[in-house]
Amino acid sequence: MKNCMEYKGYYGSIEYSNEDRCFYGKVLGIRSLILFEGTNVQELEDSFHQMLDEYLEDCREAKTEPEKVYKGSFNIRVAPTLHKKAAICAASKGISLNSFVEHAISAYVRKCFAK
């Protein structure tokens, strides 16, 4: 996936500020705000690793569980007409709406990762 990097099961965004002439990012998929930066890609990656290691060490010292990345459930809001059509399609296929949405997301994600 482009514009992301992975370390220890966590994902970080990759952004560039032309104004500041630096790369920056944040850890994705958790409520805690973990930011990192660097003037080149290697510095950005090193900063990502360092900040994530510090977060995990802080959790260990505080005897708290680090936030889990992408626990597998989330809420979405869609237009009522789309909700209705999805429910009808799911029922016609004999599957739950949850399974229908999972299949639809899986198909779209496969396309994203194929690029």
- The arithmetic mean of pLDDT across residues 72-96, rounded, is 93
- The arithmetic mean of pLDDT across residues 3-29, rounded, is 94
48-57 tens-digit pLDDT: 999 999 999 9
What is the residue-averaged pLDDT of the chain? 93
Residue whose pair of structure tokens reads 């059509």 in the numeric block: 85
pTM: 0.68
* Rg of the chain in Å (alpha carbons): 19
Please tell me the predicted confidence (pLDDT) of residue 3. Answer: 85
Please tell me the predicted confidence (pLDDT) of residue 104. Answer: 95
Q: Would residue 63 be called left, alpha or beta, if left means φ above 0 and alpha means ψ between -120 and 50 degrees?
A: left
Eight-state DSSP code of residue 84: H
For the chain, which residues make up each domain, given as ranges? 4-61, 80-114
- The arithmetic mean of pLDDT across residues 76-99, rounded, is 95
Please tell me the predicted confidence (pLDDT) of residue 69. Answer: 81
